[in-house]
A and B are shown apart, each in its own frame.
Chain A
């Protein structure tokens, strides 16, 4: 387990050549630094716990094809990611989602986590997904989506 509370085994895909360079981990690191949650408690990567009423989940959602420059080592990938926000209070959840959008829409030519990002850009505004059933009742769910261009 890493110090983020995640098992980093398996981060060996094209987009994540070595552990620690995954977009998801970069985003989790940023969200932790900005006080949006504690990894493993109310901040999760790649899965949604059935019991989560109040928390944030980061999902890596693929993205567009890489931008390759022939004859150069400066290849860029364009992964996208999704941040799902759950909150038992609608207004609080919406506010948190808005803050997360504003946090990432200001990032350009910046190192996030371990990786240099040319930009991170919201590909949608906050989407309310309505109520969702959890193990002990129901909660509100919001979705935000982002596109990126980053150095491999």
Chain B
């Protein structure tokens, strides 16, 4: 015969607390895993003057409705440019080096897969995500197992 050890109210209250703890644990895990991808991506990021690597960011987790989103990217505070001369300045294979800190050039460096870099490579963010993708679920599972009331 089953025994009731605690009342329903206490059980539901504890489950609510556990849910909250799990949410916090997952959010914390996402931020840390984002940092891992950030590190891997930075290692793959081409270096010419070192500016691009310094522009990496790992933001979040952001709560969108009931979905947590972790954003890893480059050049959060740098505005894209549309002037052709300025873009040419920013190109890794253009005539001039990207010396101006306000110029956005992460997207062309990421997308121009035909450009040979002495250090790093194109698709530095995409490849970092592909490389670490399989580690995410086991990592979150490991974190959730440690969650206590």
Using a CB–CB distance below 8 Å, which chain A residues touch chain B?
Answer: 47-48, 57, 59, 61-65, 80, 82, 84, 123, 127, 129-133, 138, 141, 143, 145
Residues of A with C-beta under 8 A to B88: 130-133, 138
Decide if A127 touches B111 in the complex (CB within 8 Å).
Answer: yes
Q: What separation, in Å, do the CA atoms of A59 and B87 have in the docked complex?
A: 23
Residues of B with C-beta under 8 A to A123: 126
- The A interface, classified by DSSP as helix, strand, loop or mixed, is strand
Chain B interface residue bracket vs A: 20 to 34
Decide if B127 touches A62 in the complex (CB within 8 Å).
Answer: yes
Decide if A129 touches B107 in the complex (CB within 8 Å).
Answer: yes
Decide if A130 touches B113 in the complex (CB within 8 Å).
Answer: no
Decide if A61 touches B126 in the complex (CB within 8 Å).
Answer: yes
| 14 residue pairs A–B, Cβ–Cβ below 8 Å | A57-B114, A59-B113, A61-B113, A61-B126, A62-B126, A62-B130, A84-B111, A84-B114, A129-B108, A129-B111, A132-B91, A133-B94, A133-B95, A145-B126
Q: How many A-B pairs fall under 8 Å by CB?
A: 55
Within B102-134, the residues touching A (CB, 8 Å) are: 107-108, 111-114, 123, 126-127, 130, 133-134
Residues of B with C-beta under 8 A to A131: 84, 87-88
Residues of B with C-beta under 8 A to A57: 114
Q: Does B99 contact A (CB under 8 A)?
A: no
B89 to chain A, nearest CB (A): 11
Residues of A with C-beta under 8 A to B81: 130
Decide if A130 touches B82 in the complex (CB within 8 Å).
Answer: yes
Q: Does B93 contact A (CB under 8 A)?
A: yes
B52 to chain A, nearest CB (A): 15
A115 to chain B, nearest CB (A): 20
Residues of A with C-beta under 8 A to B91: 132-133
Residues of A with C-beta under 8 A to B130: 62-65, 80
B36 to chain A, nearest CB (A): 16
